[in-house]
């Protein structure tokens, strides 16, 4: 049994530690809600060390970021008067400080997910603590779902504690089966919240710089300023340089920084100096920057948004949530009274979202899909996710994994997929390393994979060949740790074949196996490319790669129509032919020419949407031509079709019955007809090779074919084309509006005692009654009521205007007529 420290510091969470221990002893699950400064991250794990139910089991503490994990481990170790790696250690992707003596392991959330997937029983683990769960990372959500599954099925003795500073307690408690919810007060000194509006059009770094200089000149203490990203931090540093006294240290803090630079940013300022920390959201939670008593909040954060249809993740700058704004302000009152300066109007705070959206709703789910297959779960609803992964995004992820050979047609894990999952890499990059191992290139591929997953290695160049070269020669602890990781990944592939001496391994040829859908051909000028998936991508014309004929793109952002390339490598067509044999195909195509509105044919050599060569062929006919015309209609819209008057009326009649009665009468909306072109258009236009050849009669016959055969004979009865008036005259019924409309002279309805109706008598016609001059005089849905009611007023008005036409006092008993009275009567 590990010796428990004889004392713990007195912090707000100290008052509920006994409640936490009792809840985990009795219920095995608990939720702790404690604001910043309560001490939950350090005191709770240390307290649980002394619980009898723990035995000698390890406590796993999950942290959302490496910086927070290192800081938490260091703080707990200092309270025990030990070094990190003794009783308290940490594990993360590029750093591991644990030993046989370690009983509290602080791990990043991704590391925990891999731990539990590799060892579902969590051997030797007594407790799993999810810290800062409100951040709702994909790894945290998945890790909690797995932990709950393991506890229910394999480890009833496992304890699970979910902790957060700003937590949607009700939802999380419901997910955990409503265990005890323990609330702790925070230790927060008074915070003076002030607001400074950002002038319209002003760059955020200019606003932040001005706020920093003002606060630095008028207030005491160190400053923590939140900006959305690294670029804004760099520009703010440039604006501050030379404008502050030498005893003021400017310290950037963001994810791409090395460990030493991050640790330096959170260390207290030396005596006689002040510090200005410029941070992203990385500094919101889990860490305390001693000496900070002024927070300047830009109110912005940068979040990744994944588009499943394109496979592109773009970064969007958005407003922070109210929870994040509170977290940021709380940084000012951790150790003494502080000031929080918010760079927005106070009225805007209420409009902020309550919480930051969970990553699972807007992330690439290919890694999750691979892990679910490894866990043996087809339906994610079988696991207890706070928010279920979106079905569309998960489906796209599984499609990618099938393309990479990781899943079979039933979404089961293949042998290749098991190899991919064993590598701690995103699926695309894992597939690349495994494929490269077959040619003795595993180490080069692993170096490239680590370069792409550890931002900042090898510099910021878009050209991955250049970044890989720099990374190989880069000095520093982070670079060396990354190269060691690449070596371990290469060894894990089991590839023993060595690359031939003197053979140059190019980044582009490796990336082909990870991003076959992002092979790109220059089209439209320097820096403009079209990818195999059909999407556009571009580079600044000044970039060296902008002149390349072909690229393979590893990272891009922006909207789907024209993505901005962030990382790519040059390739040639020969590289594709060598590494992806069979992907370049030659085939005959029939396609619609939008300019001439005719069907053309060509023989093309292509890679996905990329066309390398094409040769014209004779114009096609028959079904091939009709299908190409259908493609043109989908592109241009249904309005391009030559609907005859008969076809238009038929469409309106059937559409009316669908709106009124529903199925099986078919939907006649543009969207529905476009979706079913292959059913009603293509089979009836066998002789058409252009829009001018489309037969109007074929359109009518096609529309009628959508009506079930047994209903076709009822169409005339349910939605007749005309109404036969008592005079014997036939008048067209219009179905284009929400209700069927009949326009008719009022004299033709004399003697009619029932209101005309369609749809088997279910729906009355809207009668637009006109004068002898065909001008509207009344609209009614109740003809008998009209005769008995307002007819009297209409008659009084019309008799004088049209004296030669009958206006009987009782039209229900009068004879209908289309004629005027004879002269002299």
Give the domain ranges of the chain.
12-183, 191-360, 423-583, 638-717, 722-813
Distance CA 83, CA 76 (A): 9
Span 777-786, pLDDT tens digits? 999 999 999 9
| Spatial contact of 143 and 115, defined as CB atoms under 8 Å apart | no
Span 606-628, pLDDT tens digits? 998 899 999 998 888 888 888 99
Q: Any bridge partners for residue 292, and if so which? A: 222
Q: Which of 305, 310, 317 is nearest to 281 (CA)?
A: 317
Distance CA 62, CA 112 (A): 7
Name the CATH architecture for the domain at 191-360.
3-Layer(aba) Sandwich (3.40)
Q: Average pLDDT, stretch 667-685? A: 93
Burial of 585 (0-12, 13-18, 19+ CB in 10 A): exposed
Span 298-317, pLDDT tens digits? 999 988 887 776 677 777 88
| Spatial contact of 260 and 252, defined as CB atoms under 8 Å apart | no
Span 188-200, pLDDT tens digits? 688 899 999 898 8
Per-residue model confidence (pLDDT) at position 791: 92
Confidence class for position 237, pLDDT limits 50, 70, 90: very high
Q: Parallel, antiparallel, or unpaired: how do β-strands 776-780 and 766-770 relate?
A: antiparallel
Per-residue model confidence (pLDDT) at position 1: 35
CA distances from 81 to 7, 10, 84, 102, 423 (A): 11, 17, 10, 14, 37
Per-residue model confidence (pLDDT) at position 824: 54
**Predicted TM-score (pTM) of this structure:** 0.74
Least confident of 100-104, 147-151, 791-795: 791-795
Per-residue model confidence (pLDDT) at position 4: 43
Distance CA 641, CA 629 (A): 10
| Spatial contact of 166 and 198, defined as CB atoms under 8 Å apart | no
Distance CA 45, CA 48 (A): 5
Q: Any bridge partners for residue 253, and if so which? A: 279
Vertex 447 angle, CA 444 and 453, to 5° = 145
Per-residue model confidence (pLDDT) at position 264: 80
Q: Which of 370, 391, 493 is nearest to 435 (CA)?
A: 493
Per-residue model confidence (pLDDT) at position 705: 93
Q: Which of 300, 321, 306 is nearest to 205 (CA)?
A: 300
**Better-predicted residue by pLDDT, 36 or 552:** 552
Whether the predicted pLDDT of 502 surpasses 60: no
- The percent of residues in the chain predicted with pLDDT above 70, rounded, is 96
Same fold flag, 12-183 and 191-360: yes
Q: Average pLDDT, stretch 791-818? A: 89
Whether the predicted pLDDT of 14 surpasses 60: yes
DSSP 561: T
Vertex 351 angle, CA 346 and 355, to 5° = 110
Confidence class for position 262, pLDDT limits 50, 70, 90: confident
| Spatial contact of 334 and 291, defined as CB atoms under 8 Å apart | no
Per-residue model confidence (pLDDT) at position 62: 95
Whether the predicted pLDDT of 825 surpasses 70: no
Q: Average pLDDT, stretch 331-352? A: 88
CA distances from 395 to 313, 407, 411, 661 (A): 16, 12, 10, 35
The CATH classification of domain 12-183, taken from the options 3.30.450.20, 3.90.320.10, 3.40.50.300, 3.10.180.10: 3.40.50.300
| DSSP class per residue in 22-50 | HHHHHTSEEEEE--TTS-HHHHHHHHHTT
Whether the predicted pLDDT of 584 surpasses 70: yes
Per-residue model confidence (pLDDT) at position 147: 96
Burial of 408 (0-12, 13-18, 19+ CB in 10 A): middle
């Amino acid at each position: 049994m590990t010796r428990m420290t004889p004392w713990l510091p007195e912090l707000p969470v100290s008052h509920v530690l006994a409640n936490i221990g009792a809840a985990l002893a009795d219920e095995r699950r608990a939720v702790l809600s404690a604001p910043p400064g309560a001490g939950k991250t350090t005191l709770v794990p240390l307290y649980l060390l002394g619980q009898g139910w723990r035995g000698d089991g390890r406590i796993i503490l999950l942290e959302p970021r490496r910086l927070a994990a290192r800081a938490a481990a260091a703080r707990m170790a200092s309270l025990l008067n030990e070094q990190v790696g003794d009783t308290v250690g940490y594990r993360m992707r590029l750093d591991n400080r644990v030993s046989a003596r370690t009983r509290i392991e602080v791990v990043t959330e991704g590391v925990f997910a891999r731990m539990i997937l590799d060892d579902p029983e969590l051997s030797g683990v007594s407790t799993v603590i999810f810290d800062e769960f409100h951040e709702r990372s994909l790894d945290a959500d998945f890790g909690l779902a797995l932990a709950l599954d393991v506890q229910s099925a394999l480890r009833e003795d496992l304890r699970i504690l979910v902790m957060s500073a700003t937590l949607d307690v009700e939802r999380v408690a419901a997910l955990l089966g409503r265990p005890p919810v323990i609330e702790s007060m925070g230790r927060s000194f008074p915070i003076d919240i002030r607001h400074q509006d950002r002038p319209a059009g002003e760059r955020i770094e200019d606003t932040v710089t001005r706020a920093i200089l003002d606060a630095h000149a008028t207030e005491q203490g160190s400053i923590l300023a939140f900006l959305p990203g690294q670029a804004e931090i760099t520009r703010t540093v440039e604006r501050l340089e030379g404008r502050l006294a030498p005893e003021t240290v400017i310290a950037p803090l963001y994810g791409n920084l090395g460990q030493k630079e991050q640790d330096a940013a959170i260390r207290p300022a030396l005596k006689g100096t002040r510090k200005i920390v410029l941070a992203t959201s990385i500094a919101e939670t889990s860490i305390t920057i001693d000496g900070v008593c002024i927070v300047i909040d830009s109110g912005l954060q940068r979040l990744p948004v994944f588009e499943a249809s394109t496979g592109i993740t773009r970064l969007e700058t958005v407003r922070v949530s109210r929870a994040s704004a509170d977290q940021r302000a709380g940084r000012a009152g951790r150790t003494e009274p502080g000031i929080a300066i918010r760079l927005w109007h106070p009225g805007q705070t209420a409009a902020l979202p309550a919480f930051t959206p969970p990553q699972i709703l807007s992330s690439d789910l290919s890694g999750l899909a691979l892990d679910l297959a490894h866990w043996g779960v087809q339906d994610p609803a079988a696991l207890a996710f706070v928010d279920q992964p979106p079905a569309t995004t998960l489906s796209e992820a599984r499609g990618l994994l099938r393309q990479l050979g990781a899943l079979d047609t039933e979404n089961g894990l293949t042998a290749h997929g098991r190899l991919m999952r064993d590598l701690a890499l995103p699926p695309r990059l894992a597939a690349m390393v495994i494929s490269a191992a077959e040619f003795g290139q595993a180490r080069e591929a692993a170096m490239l994979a680590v370069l792409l997953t550890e931002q900042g290695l090898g510099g910021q160049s878009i050209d991955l060949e250049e970044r890989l070269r720099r990374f190989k020669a880069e000095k520093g602890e982070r670079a060396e740790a990354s190269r060691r990781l690449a070596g371990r990944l290469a060894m894990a592939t089991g590839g023993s074949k060595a690359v031939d001496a003197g053979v140059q391994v190019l980044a582009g040829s490796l990336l082909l196996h990870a991003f076959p859908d992002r092979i790109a051909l220059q089209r439209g000028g320097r820096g403009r490319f079209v990818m195999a998936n059909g999407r556009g991508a571009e580079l600044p014309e000044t970039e060296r790669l902008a002149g390349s004929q072909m690229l393979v793109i590893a990272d891009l952002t922006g909207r789907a129509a024209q993505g901005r390339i962030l990382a790519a490598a040059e390739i040639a067509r020969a590289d594709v032919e060598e590494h992806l044999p069979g992907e370049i195909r030659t085939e005959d195509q029939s396609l619609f020419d939008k300019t001439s509105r005719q069907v053309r044919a060509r023989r093309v050599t292509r890679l996905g949407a990329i066309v390398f060569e094409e040769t014209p062929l004779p114009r096609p006919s028959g079904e091939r031509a009709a299908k190409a015309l259908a493609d043109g209609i989908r592109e241009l819209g249904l309005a391009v079709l030559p609907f005859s008057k008969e076809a238009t009326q038929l469409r309106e009649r059937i559409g009316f019955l669908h709106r009124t009665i529903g199925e099986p009468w078919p939907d006649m909306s543009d969207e529905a007809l476009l979706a079913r072109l292959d059913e009603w258009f293509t089979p009836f236009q066998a002789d058409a090779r252009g829009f001018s050849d489309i037969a109007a009669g074929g359109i009518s016959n096609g529309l009628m074919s959508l009506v079930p055969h047994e209903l076709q004979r009822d169409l005339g009865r349910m939605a007749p084309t005309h109404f036969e008036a008592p005079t014997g005259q036939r008048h067209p019924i219009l179905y284009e509006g929400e209700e069927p409309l009949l326009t008719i002279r009022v004299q033709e309805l004399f003697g009619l005692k029932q209101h005309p109706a369609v749809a088997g008598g279910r729906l009355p016609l809207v009668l637009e009654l006109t004068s002898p001059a065909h001008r509207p005089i009344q609209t009614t849905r109740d003809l008998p009521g009209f005769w008995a009611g307002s007819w009297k007023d209409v008659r009084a008005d019309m008799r004088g205007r049209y004296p030669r036409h009958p206006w009987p006092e009782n039209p229900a008993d009068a004879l209908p007529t289309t004629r005027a009275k004879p002269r002299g009567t």
